[in-house]
């Protein structure tokens, strides 16, 4: 058990340290850094989904005044090979998916670059492509592990026999569509390759992670590369690993004799090469006794990956730990298609993997004649069903009860399709949320006294809009036992001590633990009254609890849904979540994380869907007019609450990650509420008006 | 995107002559549609003639109780105009249901009418589209066409016209005033847009160089009892799946007169003449409304994935007329 840091600044409502700079426009995002004489890059993208680029006619483009050069697979600088097929662009003329980067125009202005890109004519040798995901393909395969390195399949007991013998059963297939992350700030890079080496201003979730990949792809040493990301306009996972756009910018910078290269990805291009969430097909079987006690749980998942590089979303994982049942199975099978490489999107695995089982639980509750909350309470496990370890803390039931109280669950009519109000069918639904407490080694922090009782804390973390900068300031203040006003935290630069990526809701755990350790050692060495310039660097200590306990945050989400009786239009006037996620370090930034996640979950439930036209092999609704994300008018009342959860095992702050749990379970709560409103069970996201218009079904 | 010239002529005659004389010139309103298309390579004008300062930005009263709306009037101003709200609520509601506050602040009356379809293939130059390039084929026919037409389409094109404003104008018997090289002409709003037929590249009956100068809304005594309803996937900032513009005049429980137009169903605002004719003189009752809607939609030919639009349109019309007849109860 860790000695928890005693909270003073932690837990208080502090405004963001970067807030004023952001709202006044002084915060500089990647492409806004002033650099002398930049060159602008516009990419060339494949318009076939599979085949070979035979020729690229670049004469018209290069003849345009203001064009410096056109990079192609036939003239691009070489990269180290064998590192990462997604990143090895322009190294061969092969095309593995439509929209793949096959070149770039470099020009004096963005307009000229874009015009010239339109003048490049490609000739291809086309091959038939295959982008169709289905559960009955005969070439589905089992990956060796699923993201990040979890077992592909799990088997406990005899789930099929138990299911066959169960007194109550639900068996259904649920699907979630392809989704694109679409942070507010599209991916953007300034790459400067001069005598000092390579400098990158990049919109990224991890400066050190980017540097590591760039050094390996370009055969460089870490001290030759500096990555800066002081402000980042969101990422949702799509900036957690480098994508081909970064490599293209750096390749281009090799050709501009030290002039900076700016590459700001357009919104349309974000649907081609910066990652996305795989569509999922989930076959769920729940078997229970007549009292609703689960005897069998299985989730057999089919999803896609790219032919050139595997990414296996861990969609089956939540079913391993959520509820107690002696017989359980999860499996993952992939189709390797001629598609872009899928990647992380907010709560990979957990988010789609809680949609299907949590709707199935609603169906089981109905089959058992039980309230859906009661069903979940009856299946609360003593220990983690997957690992057998005790939970460091698990307050799902408390969240369900507190949520029910706040939401007014007791007023809910038992039967679906019971309430028609002003031409709208009204219903309510519930689902559980859960997200693991991740931690990863590799972060360190420097504490430096700057005189007058002030301190600088240095760590190469990135605040992608989460509030990390602010929360790290609060942690550092408590670790040093000084007021937060006396601490300046510096982040977002590889010249600062190494930090892990902002992902897996693990930033606060990793970076905060490193800061606490550095502060502790600093005080040990220099005492309470250090000299200006005294400094100490320490790494994140091991967190022993992570070996002995299963660690997860839990939550419960409640939705009210209205379905228009004439049109089938679906609206969500009310969402309410209650979370148990350890100590909440800053209620203001935490609330933003929760309601942001819930809003994104609402968007997933009702709106978001990347539509692939199989004939062409790409996403055709590739802009924000066609790929709908919930607008302000769609988001009425979204409330997030939390329990005071004490968990001494997770880390020195007693906190669990909160960046992702908000999106887990929301879509199921909405789907369950839509069922309760109408009696129509929708198992395929997004939930559209079409489903509720009888003649359309 | 290609480089282009930009001009702001001093008078309408010069503007019309300039565009007429140059097949690669285009009028520029708020630019919220045209400039997007230029960035995407969907439109490649080499000369933009800005008419926002030329066409009127005023809303004038007409002697018959109607209004004349200058082509330069911004969507937000038109929607906020007290006379419009009083006399033609359907128009204000249609405008406010479209786009976003920012877009409406820029968008002009003329530009709104001439905005082009949102068909995803039309907007992506890497996919075939007969509207963009006649003869290439229609990608939507067998592709992503959930938003597409169920009435009046052809094998050449199944796109829908996206404007909400145009639907309200079609219902209100509005008249579009146009200045061309040969002088002025007027076009009923209902016939401004065309069905695709064999020439989907032509959205409207306008000739190149014809400038919309104003839209006349003739006086309509029962205009105050009008309504716009729009079904959409998002609560705002989304194009119509289906929309209905309707005005209803009930006397003694019978429909004395009625105006109906649908949006989201066809390549043009769909004036529902069949339904109107079926209703005149009939009881203002839901089953009558339903029968009229069904008569209008009887010829609908949904595509693979947009069959939902037919019951959606029917239900919406029944509800809108039922609500209007309740409003009209006193008469
Ligand atoms: C994300 C998004 C969502 C939207 N949602 C909706 C919606 O829900 N409902 C809706 O109705 N609209 C919607 N719109 C479209 C918006 O209403 C149009 O873009 C706008 O009305 C166009 O007006 P404009 O003045 O900017 O036209 P411009 O872009 O300037 O011009 C459009 C066309 O009209 C021509 N033109 C302009 N003025 C004249 C004139 N006086 N005479 C002849 N030709 C002229 C131009 O040459 C061009 O071809 C949306 C747009 C966006 C980007
Ligand atoms: S529906 Fe019309 S606009 Fe769309 S692809 Fe077909 S021809 Fe083009």
Q: What secondary structure does DSSP assign to A431-475, as a single string?
A: EEEEEE----S--EEEEEEEETTEEEEE-----SSSSHHHHHHHH
Please tell me whether the peptide bond between A475 and the residue prior to it is cis, using omega within 30 degrees of 0: no
Query: Which helix (H) or strand (E) is A208 found in, with range?
Result: helix A207-218
Position in ligand 2 atom list of the atom nearest CA B138: 6
What is the mean pLDDT of the segment spanning A274-279? 98
Residue A539: other Cβ atoms inside 10 A: 16
**Mutation choice for ligand 2 from B120, B138, B202, CB with most ligand atoms inside 8 A:** B138
Rounded CA gap, A93 and A72, in Å? Answer: 9
Position in ligand 1 atom list of the atom nearest CA B206: 43
Q: Which residue of B has its CA nearest to A630?
A: B234
Q: Is pLDDT of A496 > 60? A: yes
Nearest to B261 by CA among B224, B230, B215: B230
What is the mean pLDDT of the segment spanning A653-671? 98
Give the percent of chain B with pLDDT over 70.
99
Rounded CA gap, A552 and A547, in Å? Answer: 13
Q: Is pLDDT of A152 > 70? A: yes
Q: Which residue of B has its CA nearest to A122?
A: B126
CA distance B308 to chain A (A): 5
Question: Could you say which residues from 543 to 582 on chain A have a Cβ atom under 8 Å away from some Cβ of chain B?
Answer: 564-569, 571
CA distances from A62 to A70, A162, B4, B38 (A): 7, 68, 19, 21
Question: In which order are the strands placed within the sheet that holds B242-251?
Answer: B226-231, B242-251, B254-263, B270-271
| Domain-terminating residue out of A542, A568, A588 | A542
Q: Is pLDDT of A76 > 50? A: yes
In this structure, the answer to whether residues A459 and A592 fall within a common structural domain is no
In this structure, the answer to whether residues A75 and A43 fall within a common structural domain is yes
Instruction: Provide the mean pLDDT of chain A.
Output: 97
Q: How confident is the model at residue A694 (pLDDT cuts 50, 70, 90)?
A: confident
In this structure, the answer to whether residues A568 and A429 fall within a common structural domain is yes
Q: What is the pLDDT of residue A695?
A: 61
Q: Is pLDDT of B331 > 50? A: no
Residue of the nearest CA to atom 15 in ligand 1?
B99
What is the topology classification, in CATH, of domain B226-325? Enolase-like; domain 1 (3.30.390)
**Does a structural domain hold residue A330?**
no
**Mutation choice for ligand 1 from B99, B181, B184, CB with most ligand atoms inside 8 A:** B99
Rounded CA gap, A289 and A362, in Å? Answer: 15
Q: What is the pLDDT of residue A583?
A: 98
**Does a structural domain hold residue A589?**
yes
Burial annotation B184-212 (CB, 10 A radius, 16+ → b, else e): eeebebbebbbbbeeebeebbebeebbbb
Q: What is the pLDDT of residue B120?
A: 98
In this structure, the answer to whether residues A521 and A571 fall within a common structural domain is no
User: Who lines ligand 2 at CB under 6 A?
Assistant: B 117, 119, 121-122, 129-131, 138-140, 157-159, 200
In this structure, the answer to whether residues A461 and A451 fall within a common structural domain is yes
Residue A487: other Cβ atoms inside 10 A: 26
Rounded CA gap, B311 and B292, in Å? Answer: 13
In this structure, the answer to whether residues A219 and A84 fall within a common structural domain is yes
Rounded CA gap, A133 and A137, in Å? Answer: 8
Q: What is the pLDDT of residues A378-433, one digit of tens each?
A: 999 999 999 999 999 999 999 999 999 999 999 999 999 999 999 999 999 999 99
Q: How confident is the model at residue B1 (pLDDT cuts 50, 70, 90)?
A: confident
In this structure, the answer to whether residues A429 and A475 fall within a common structural domain is no
Rounded CA gap, A662 and A557, in Å? Answer: 9
- Bridge partners (DSSP) of residue B175 are B188, B216
What are the domain boundaries of chain B? 226-325
Q: Is pLDDT of A667 > 90? A: yes
| Domain-terminating residue out of A542, A568, A598 | A542
Total count of domains within chain A: 3
Q: Is pLDDT of A87 > 70? A: yes
Q: With a cut of 0.90, is the ipTM above it?
A: yes
Q: Kindly state the DSSP code that residue A417 receives in the 8-state scheme.
A: S
How big is chain A, counted in residues?
Answer: 697
In this structure, the answer to whether residues A602 and A535 fall within a common structural domain is no
Q: Is pLDDT of B330 > 50? A: no
Q: Which residue of A has its CA nearest to B315?
A: A566
**Does a structural domain hold residue A117?**
yes
* Nearest ligand for residue B43 CA: 1
| Domain-terminating residue out of A511, A542, A573 | A542
Q: What is the pLDDT of residue B327?
A: 82
Instruction: Answer yes or no: is the C-beta of B51 below 6 A from any ligand 1 atom.
Output: yes
**Does a structural domain hold residue A663?**
yes
Q: Is pLDDT of A697 > 60? A: no
Q: What is the pLDDT of residues A337-352, one digit of tens each?
A: 999 999 999 999 999 9
Residue B4: other Cβ atoms inside 10 A: 15
What is the mean pLDDT of the segment spanning A630-655? 96
Q: What is the pLDDT of residues B76-127, one digit of tens each?
A: 999 999 999 999 999 999 999 999 999 999 999 999 999 999 999 999 999 9
What is the mean pLDDT of the segment spanning A212-216? 97
Rounded CA gap, A72 and A685, in Å? Answer: 39
Q: Do A566 and B307 touch (CB under 8 A)?
A: no
| CB-based contacts of A1, cutoff 8 Å, min separation 6 | A545, A648, A649
Rounded CA gap, A280 and A176, in Å? Answer: 5
Q: What is the pLDDT of residues A597-627, one digit of tens each?
A: 999 999 999 999 999 999 999 999 999 999 9
In this structure, the answer to whether residues A606 and A471 fall within a common structural domain is no
**Does a structural domain hold residue A384?**
no
- Nearest residue, CB atoms, B234 vs list A611, A616, A628: A628
In this structure, the answer to whether residues A478 and A405 fall within a common structural domain is no
Q: What is the pLDDT of residues A287-305, one digit of tens each?
A: 999 999 999 999 999 999 9
What is the mean pLDDT of the segment spanning B218-244? 97
Task: Report CA B224 to chain centroid distance, whole Å.
Answer: 20
Residue A325 structure tokens: 């049942």
Rounded CA gap, B115 and B162, in Å? Answer: 7
Q: Kindly state the DSSP code that residue A99 receives in the 8-state scheme.
A: T
**Does a structural domain hold residue A51?**
yes
Full residue range of the structural domain in which residue A475 is found: 19-28+440-542
DSSP per residue, B165-221: HHHHHHHTT-EEEEEETTEEEEEEHHHHB---TT-TT--BSPPTT-EEEEEEE---T
DSSP per residue, A291-336: T--EEEEEEEEEEEEESSS-----TTTHHHHSS--SEEEEEEEEEE
Give the percent of chain A with pLDDT over 90.
98
| CB-based contacts of B277, cutoff 8 Å, min separation 6 | none
What is the mean pLDDT of the segment spanning A434-459? 97
Report the CATH number that the domain containing residue A223 is assigned in CATH: 3.90.1170.50
pTM of the predicted model, to two decimals? 0.98
In this structure, the answer to whether residues A117 and A193 fall within a common structural domain is yes
| CB-based contacts of A340, cutoff 8 Å, min separation 6 | A97, A99, A100, A272, A273, A275, A276, A306
The CB-side HSE value for A652 (13 A sphere, CA atoms) comes to 21
Nearest to B2 by CA among B30, B31, B39, B35: B39
Instruction: Answer yes or no: is the C-beta of B276 below 6 A from any ligand 1 atom.
Output: no
Instruction: Provide the mean pLDDT of chain B.
Output: 97
Report the CATH number that the domain containing residue A448 is assigned in CATH: 3.30.365.10
Candidates B120, B159, B236: best to mutate against A (most CBs of A within 10 A) is B120
Which SS3 state, helix, strand or coil, does residue A163 take?
helix
In this structure, the answer to whether residues A76 and A47 fall within a common structural domain is yes
Q: What is the pLDDT of residue A58?
A: 98
Q: Do A628 and B126 touch (CB under 8 A)?
A: no
Nearest to A238 by CA among A227, A246, A248, A226: A246
Nearest to B232 by CA among B162, B299, B294: B162
Question: Could you say which residues from 582 to 641 on chain A have a Cβ atom under 8 Å away from some Cβ of chain B?
Answer: 606-607, 611, 613, 615-616, 620-623, 625-626, 628, 630-634
What is the mean pLDDT of the segment spanning B308-325? 98
């Amino acid at each position: 058990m860790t000695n928890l840091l005693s909270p003073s600044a932690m837990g208080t409502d502090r405004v963001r340290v970067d807030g004023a700079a952001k709202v006044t426009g002084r915060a500089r995002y990647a492409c806004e850094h002033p650099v002398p004489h930049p060159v602008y890059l516009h990419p060339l993208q494949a318009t076939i989904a599979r085949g070979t680029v035979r020729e690229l006619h670049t004469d018209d483009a290069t003849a345009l005044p203001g064009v410096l050069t056109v990079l192609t697979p036939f003239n691009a600088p070489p990269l180290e090979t064998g590192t990462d097929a997604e990143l090895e662009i322009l190294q061969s003329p092969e095309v593995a998916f439509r929209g793949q980067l096959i070149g770039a125009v470099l020009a004096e202005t963005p307009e000229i670059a874009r015009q010239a890109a339109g003048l490049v004519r490609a000739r291809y040798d086309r091959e038939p492509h295959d982008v169709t995901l289905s559960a009955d393909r005969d070439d589905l395969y089992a990956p060796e592990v699923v993201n990040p390195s979890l077992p592909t399949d799990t088997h406990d007991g005899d789930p099929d026999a138990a299911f066959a013998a169960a007194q109550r059963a639900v068996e259904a297939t649920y699907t979630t569509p392809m989704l694109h992350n679409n942070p507010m700030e599209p991916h953007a890079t300034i790459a400067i390759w001069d005598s000092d080496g390579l400098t990158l201003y990049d919109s990224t979730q991890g400066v050190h992670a980017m540097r590591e990949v760039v050094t390996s792809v370009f055969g460089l040493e870490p001290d030759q590369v500096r990555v800066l990301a002081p402000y980042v306009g969101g990422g949702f996972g799509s900036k957690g690993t480098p994508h081909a756009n970064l490599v293209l910018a750096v390749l281009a910078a090799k050709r501009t004799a030290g002039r900076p290269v700016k590459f700001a990805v357009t919104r349309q291009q974000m649907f081609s090469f910066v990652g996305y969430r795989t569509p999922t097909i989930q076959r769920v079987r729940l078997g229970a006794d007549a009292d609703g006690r689960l005897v069998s749980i299985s989730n057999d998942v089919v999803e896609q990956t790219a032919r050139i590089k595997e990414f296996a979303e861990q969609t089956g994982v939540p079913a391993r730990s959520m509820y107690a049942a002696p017989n359980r199975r999860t499996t993952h099978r992939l189709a390797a298609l001629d598609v872009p490489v899928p990647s992380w999107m907010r709560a990979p695995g957990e988010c789609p993997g809680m949609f299907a089982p949590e709707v199935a639980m609603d169906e089981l509750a109905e089959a058992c004649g039980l309230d859906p909350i009661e069903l979940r309470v009856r299946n609360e496990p003593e220990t983690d069903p997957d690992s057998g370890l005790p939970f460091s803390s698990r307050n799902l039931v408390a969240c369900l009860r507190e949520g029910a109280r706040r939401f007014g669950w007791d007023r809910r009519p038992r039967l679906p399709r019971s309430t028609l109000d002003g031409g709208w069918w009204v219903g309510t639904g519930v689902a559980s949320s859960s997200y693991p407490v991740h931690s990863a080694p590799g972060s360190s922090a420097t504490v430096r006294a700057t005189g007058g009782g002030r301190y600088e804390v240095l760590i190469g973390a990135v605040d992608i809009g989460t509030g990390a900068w602010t929360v790290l300031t609060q942690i550092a203040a408590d670790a040093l036992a000084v007021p937060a006003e006396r601490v300046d935290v510096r982040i977002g630069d590889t010249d600062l001590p190494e930090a892990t990526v902002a992902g897996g809701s693990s930033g606060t755990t990793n970076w905060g633990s490193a800061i606490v350790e550095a502060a502790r050692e600093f005080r040990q060495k220099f005492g309470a009254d250090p000299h200006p310039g005294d400094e100490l660097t320490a790494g994140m200590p091991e967190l022993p609890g992570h070996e002995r306990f299963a660690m997860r945050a839990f939550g419960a989400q409640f939705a009210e849904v209205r379905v228009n009786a004439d049109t089938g239009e679906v609206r969500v006037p009310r969402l309410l979540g209650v979370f148990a996620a350890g100590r909440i370090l800053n209620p203001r930034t935490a609330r933003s994380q929760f309601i942001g996640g819930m809003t994104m979950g609402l968007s997933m439930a009702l709106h978001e869907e990347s539509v692939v036209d199989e004939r062409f092999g790409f996403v055709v609704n590739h802009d924000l007019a066609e790929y709908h994300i919930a607008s302000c008018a769609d988001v009425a009342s979204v409330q997030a609450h939390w329990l005071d959860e004490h968990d001494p095992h997770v880390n020195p702050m007693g906190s669990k990650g909160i960046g992702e749990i908000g999106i887990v379970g929301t879509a199921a709560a909405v789907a369950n509420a839509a069922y309760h409103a109408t009696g129509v069970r929708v198992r395929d996201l997004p939930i559209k008006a079409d489903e509720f218009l009888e003649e359309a079904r | 995107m290609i480089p282009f010239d930009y001009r702001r002529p001093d008078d309408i005659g010069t503007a019309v002559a300039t565009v007429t004389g140059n097949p690669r010139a285009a009028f520029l309103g708020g630019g919220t549609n045209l400039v997007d298309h230029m960035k995407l390579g969907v439109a490649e004008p080499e000369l933009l003639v800005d008419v926002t300062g030329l066409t009127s930005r005023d809303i004038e009263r007409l002697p018959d109780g109607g209004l004349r709306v200058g082509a330069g009037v911004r969507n937000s101003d038109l929607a906020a105009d007290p006379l419009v709200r009083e006399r033609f609520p359907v128009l204000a509601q249609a405008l406010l249901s479209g786009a976003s506050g920012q877009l409406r602040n820029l968008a002009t009356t003329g530009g709104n009418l001439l905005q082009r379809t949102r068909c995803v293939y039309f907007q992506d130059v890497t996919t075939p589209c007969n509207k963009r390039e006649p003869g290439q084929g229609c990608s939507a026919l067998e592709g992503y066409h959930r938003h597409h037409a169920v009435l009046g389409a052809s094998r050449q094109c199944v796109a829908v016209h996206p404007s909400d404003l145009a639907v309200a104008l079609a219902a209100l018997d509005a008249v579009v005033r146009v200045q061309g090289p040969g002088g002025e002409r007027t076009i009923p709003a209902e016939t401004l847009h065309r069905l695709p037929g064999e020439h989907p590249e032509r959205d409207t009956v306008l000739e190149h160089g014809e400038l919309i100068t104003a839209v006349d809304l003739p006086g309509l005594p029962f205009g105050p009892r009008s309504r716009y309803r729009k079904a959409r996937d998002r609560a705002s900032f989304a194009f119509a799946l289906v929309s209905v513009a309707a005005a209803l005049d009930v006397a003694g429980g019978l429909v004395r007169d009625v105006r109906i137009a649908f949006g989201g169903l066809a390549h043009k605002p769909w004036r529902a003449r069949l339904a109107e004719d079926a209703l005149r003189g009939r009881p203002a009752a839901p089953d009558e409304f339903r029968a009229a809607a069904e008569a209008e939609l009887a010829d609908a030919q949904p595509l693979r994935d947009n069959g939902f639009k037919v019951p959606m349109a029917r239900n919406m019309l029944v509800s809108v007329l039922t609500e209007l007849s309740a409003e009209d109860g006193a008469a």
